[in-house]
Structure 1
Amino acid sequence: MLPVTTSIPAEQESGSPYVKNAWHGSPARYQARLETVSPTAREWNTTEHNTVVDKWGHMICQTTWREATVITRYHLTLPPPCPGRLRSRFRKWTTAYFTSTITLWDNAYLYLSGASQCTFLCMELHLDTMQFVSRLSLYGHPPHVLTRFIKAAITNGTENHHNLVFDVLLRRRCVIYNDMNGIDGSYSSIKMVYELRRQPFRGIYITIQLLQTYLIRMPIWALLSLPKFLRPRPSWSVFKTFITNYARVWSDIGPIAARVGPSEKWPDYRAIPDTPGIKSIWLEPTPQLLIGDVARWAEEADVRPTRIPGYWYDKEGTDTPVGAPPEAGEKVILYLHGGCFIAQSAHPDNMMGHCLREVLRHSPAKRGFAVEHRLVGLAPYTNPFPAALLDNLAGYHYLVDIVGYAPDNIIFLGDSAGGAHVLALARYIVDNITELSTLMRLPQTPPSNSMILLSPWCDLGTSHETPGSSALTFTFDFLPDLRSGLMRAARLGYAHAFPPGAAETNPYISPASRHPDCHASFKGFPRTFIDVGGAERFRDMGYTLADKMRKDLGAENVVFREGTDAVHCYIHSPLETEEAAKMLKAVEAFLE
């Protein structure tokens, strides 16, 4: 249990309370202002140390207030009309701290016992204006319901505040303060995902969507695909336009999957399927390699190294035994698969294996190795960052220390979210190379290997969601809106163990962020090949990543390519074979 200590710096003793997240180390970004304090509120001021505990009796944090109000603890529950099942489900996830006067405070970032009961709330509620109510979309109840509850509390007076029950459905991370008595930043996924995954609701919903698709959507898509001037890009065929529309709705990260869950089950880190002809191995956890910030983040997120599978891929026409030592100068591809952090598998029978097989055909490597890293769970959130990084580090350790590959001969490959995993692994190696060189068979300087990033998701924040950006305007890509559904839930889930704002500024999570507080250096990184689709939502962040890397690595060590009018991760698309062939030739030239 990590206590969070909040205090007021000496220079602000006579001003507003200053809220610091002690375990993130960036106090300047997390501060709150209480511009005016009423006489009634001042009567409640205290300078005592308050030990705050959760409903299980575990200490959450200790506070020291000089210009603040008394903190009173409440549990948030769901009043009718929500069903009793939902009430019991969310009661164990939600705890908040209310004052009896002007403001609703949570004291910095609360760390409750256990990952499934971890809630991060950091908000200021001004009872006079109800500003935050108008900015939140409450699940099951409109904002005016909460407004009515709070106004009733004010009317009843402070003596009755101990009996208040507020209708708030806030899970995990919520919001951060700004300087204008409102709320800024991203907040938790208030509306659930996968809420219709159980039968009979799942079957009913899918049936309705199938009828809508075949009777309404498909005729409209067909009509809009026929005239060339109505297609998203003039180069797109009728069939490509139609199939892209279909994939946007029915993919495993689309709006239907967000309600009922994925349409298929894929292998995960817990077991190796008994499939003939598959070359697999168990990777043992490597806790000895956890150092620096990542070790601290893993402890705070309650993430531990675990045993995971890894899969070997052979180049066409070769058959190398599992784990065979490499020949002199032999190269290998370490593949970290994509899937929006929440989907797909490294298993060779999974669709993601196509990427590794194609790159193998156009590379000097004889073998590829894919890590079955942990996926982020969404209901509830599990396996946040750095869980996948710990798994990928185990795969890297296996290739270097057990199989015996030279670090310079390991080619990193990642597509989409896998690109984010590759960047995080490369950053971890570069940041900790001195310590890792004493724990692994690594040099004391970063290895001079190569890195291939295909449509990398390298900004999980909002810095690329600006008017006219590809993230907002390229709605014809099969990727759904990044601000809703599973895309939004995946972003929140991947970074949910961090305080609000980490997705904007943490270089391990968003190395391509344009946020002024994101200082992502790429010095020491491998030479890099970046490819994005010209019609995909991640195009702009790919450009930003390439520009940042060129500044630190030099233009000669960064190759950037844009697939003409191509969608996201088009190497997997059977409709993009011509553009994919051009990209693979560029990869081949890059690796020569």
Structure 2
Amino acid sequence: MAPADALYPICFVTNTISAQAQTFLRDRHVQPGVSWADKAAGRLAAAAFNTATGPSSAAAAAQFLQDIRNETMGGVPVTIGTPRGMKQQNADKMLIYVHGGAYVKGSCYHLWHVTAMAAQLAGVQVLCFEYRLAFDAPFPAALDDALAVYKDLISSNHYKAQNIVLIGDSAGGGLALALVLKAKQQQLPLPGALLLLSPWADLTQSGDTQTTLTAVDPILQYTLNLAQPALTYVNGNPALLLDPLVSPLKAAAEAFKGFPPTLIQIGLRDSLLSLATILHRKLTSVGVASVLSPWEGMWHVFQASLDVPEAQEAQRELAKFLVKHLELEV
């Protein structure tokens, strides 16, 4: 069997990671995606994803958040979680979560397990916005929604840009990067920091590890579950995949000059490892304070698996970065 055709990880389970992480690797394998060009099938798949992630999200919200409220900002639905024990001095600070899901699935209401722990540890409220998904509204709809929320936050809602941090996982990481690129183009003030968890920063099959870690990454394989969402995001136009606002890594290094301090967390079994490495080197080449944080034996967006000790440690690392760059009281 050729590696590109393999569904099961063709690798050993290392003993250098926690017992919980070893169990995850033994039990998990890549799932082929649906045809996202079929809107009806896409909606069903997106709903199934929400059903699968819902219990973990609800448990995290109950443990780490004292309340959740729904609002609209810039015409976009948002939900804001206030962490338990947040100090009033931090009320003018905001963590914006740009959720993942390959641009075709995911919802703020079903992904609290990605950000709620870090937000509670740092003592900062977290906002997630419901950007339009690609099978209904392809590029640039998601980016337009992100920009509308960001502009609203730094204007009518009176949050200073330096008091805002963006956090994005997977496609959300790519969208967060595109948002900062777009804000820079429009000469808007940039956020105070950027947190990227396994960012999908290039929607083409580029980078060494999108090939070499095929069948080693238990979550992703480009041809099985990324290629179709990528094309769906650009409405079937492959030329658009080269647009830096779609694939931020296609931007010249100079485009990243002036970016805020950035933390990039990536697992060493994540097929997007190369993209994280290339991004880090581009950022540092133009003087951005970028930290690349690699994690032994970890998979794509492992930080969401809160029963795994490495995920808890990664959440603590995110919180420390937040406290430092937002000057939070804890």
* Counterpart in the other structure of 1:233: 14
Contact 2:103 2:133 in 1 (8 A): yes
Provide the C-alpha distance between the structure 2 equivalents of 1:369 and 1:527, rounded to a whole number of angstroms: 20
Q: Say yes or no: does 1:403 pair with 2:157.
A: yes
Which of 299, 312, 337 pairs up with 2:80? 312
Q: Residue 582 of structure 1: CA displacement?
A: 2.7
- Report the AA paired with residue 336 of structure 1: V
Tell me, in whole angstroms, the C-alpha distance in 1 between the residues paired with 2:102 and 2:190. Answer: 28
The one-letter code matched in structure 1 to 2:252 is H
Which amino acid in the other structure matches residue 264 of structure 1? A
Of 252, 270, 280, 2:70 maps to 280
Amino acid at match of 1:479: I
> Kindly, what percent of the aligned residue pairs are identical?
25
1:27-51 Cα deviation digits (max 9, x unpaired): xxxxxxxxxxxxxxxxxxxxxxxxx
Kept after mapping to 2: 8 A contact 1:564/1:579 = no
| 1:304-354 alpha-carbon deviations (Å, 9 max, x no partner) | xxxx3100110113599xxxxxx688311011111111111012xx1x211
Say if 2:119 and 2:319, in contact at 8 Å, map to a contact too.
Answer: no
- Which residue pairs with 2:233 in the alignment? 494
> Match of 1:356?
115
The CA deviation at 1:240 is: 4.5
Which residue number in structure 2 is paired with residue 582 of structure 1? 313
TM-score, normalisation: structure 2: 0.78
Instruction: For 2:191 and 2:146, locate their aligned partners in 1 and report how far apart those are by CA, in whole Å.
Output: 19
Q: Does the CA contact (< 8 Å) of 1:337 and 1:417 recur in 2? A: yes
Distance 2:259 2:235 in 1: 27
Which residue is 1:566 aligned to? Answer: 298
Q: What is the distance in 1 between the residues matched to 2:220 and 2:174?
A: 19
- 2:97 and 2:274 map into 1 onto residues whose CA distance is 24
Task: Report the Cα distance in structure 1 between the residues aligned to 2:91 and 2:87, rounded to whole angstroms.
Answer: 18
Indicate how the Cα distance of structure 1 residues 311 and 328 shifts in structure 2: closer, same or farther if over 3 A, else same. Answer: closer
Determine if the alignment matches structure 1 residue 510 to structure 2 residue 247.
yes
Following superposition, the deviation at residue 534 of structure 1 comes to 1.2
**Contact 2:90–2:123 at 8 Å: present in 1 too?**
no
1:533 maps to: 267
Secondary structure of residue in 1 paired with 2:166? strand
In structure 2, relative to structure 1, the CA distance for the partners of 1:406 and 1:240 (3 Å cut) is closer
More helix by share: 2
- Shift in alpha-carbon separation, 1:329–1:568, aligned structure 2, 3 A: same
Matched AA of 2:155: D
d(CA) in 1 for partners of 2:72, 2:202: 31
Q: Give the match for residue 442 of structure 1.
A: none
2: CA distance, partners of 1:473 / 1:265: 24
Equivalent residue, structure 2, for 1:107: none
User: Aligned to 1:255, what secondary structure does the other structure show?
Assistant: coil
* Structure 1 pair 328–586 and aligned structure 2 pair: CA distance change class (3 A): closer
Further displaced range: 257-266 or 396-405? 257-266
Partner SS for 1:580 = helix
1:447 counterpart (190, 193, 207): 190
Match of 1:392 among 146, 152, 158: 146
1:334–1:412 Cα contact (<8 Å) kept: yes
Q: How far, CA to CA, are the matches of 1:551 and 1:492 in structure 2?
A: 30
AA paired with 2:122?
A: S
Q: Cα offset for 1:524? A: 1.9
| Offset of residue 494 of structure 1 | 1.3
Q: 1:482 aligned to 203, 216, 222, which one?
A: 222
Counterpart in the other structure of 1:298: none
Alignment of 1:238-253 (within 5 A): 240=21, 243-244=24-25, 246-249=27-30
Aligned length in residues: 294
Match of 2:64 in 1: none
Question: What is the CA–CA distance in structure 2 between the aligned matches of 1:424 and 1:392, rounded to whole Å?
Answer: 9
SS in 2 for 1:403: coil
- Distance (whole Å) between structure 2 residues aligned to residue 246 and residue 376 of structure 1: 30
Residue 535 of structure 1 deviates from its aligned partner by 1.2
SS of 1:375's equivalent in the other structure is coil
Q: Residue type matched to 1:523 in 2?
A: K
Distance change >3 Å, CA 432–CA 239, structure 1 → 2? closer
Distance in 1 (alpha carbons) for counterparts of 2:86 and 2:94 = 13
Read off the aligned partner of 1:357 and give its amino acid letter: A
1:74-85 equivalences under 5 Å are none
Task: Report the counterpart of residue 203 of structure 2 in structure 1.
Answer: 460
Specify the alignment match of 1:56 in structure 2.
Answer: none
The amino acid across from 2:70 in the alignment is: S
Distance 1:406 1:472, change over 3 A: same
Query: In structure 2, do the counterparts of structure 1 residues 233 and 419 end up closer, same or farther at CA, with 3 Å as the change threshold?
Result: same
Q: How much does 1:572 deviate? A: 0.9
Secondary structure at the counterpart of residue 530 of structure 1: strand
Q: Which amino acid aligns with 1:546?
A: H
**Aligned: 1:432 with 2:186:** yes
Which among 368, 387, 394 is matched to residue 126 of structure 2? 368
**Contact (CA 8 Å) 1:527, 1:553: kept in 2 or not?**
no
What SS is found at the alignment partner of 2:155? helix
Q: CA RMSD in A?
A: 3.0
Q: Deviations over 1:169-219 (max 9, x none)?
A: xxxxxxxxxxxxxxxxxxxxxxxxxxxxxxxxxxxxxxxxxxxxxxxx9xx
Shift of 1:463: 2.4
Shift of residue 266, structure 1, vs aligned partner: 4.0
Is residue 231–residue 241 contact of structure 1 (8 Å, CA) maintained in 2? no
Change (3 A) 1:319 1:529: closer
Structure 1 residues 547 and 265 mapped into 2: Cα distance closer, same or farther (>3 Å)? closer
- TM-score, structure 1 as length reference: 0.45
User: Are the counterparts in 2 of residues 472 and 481 from structure 1 also a CA contact under 8 Å?
Assistant: no
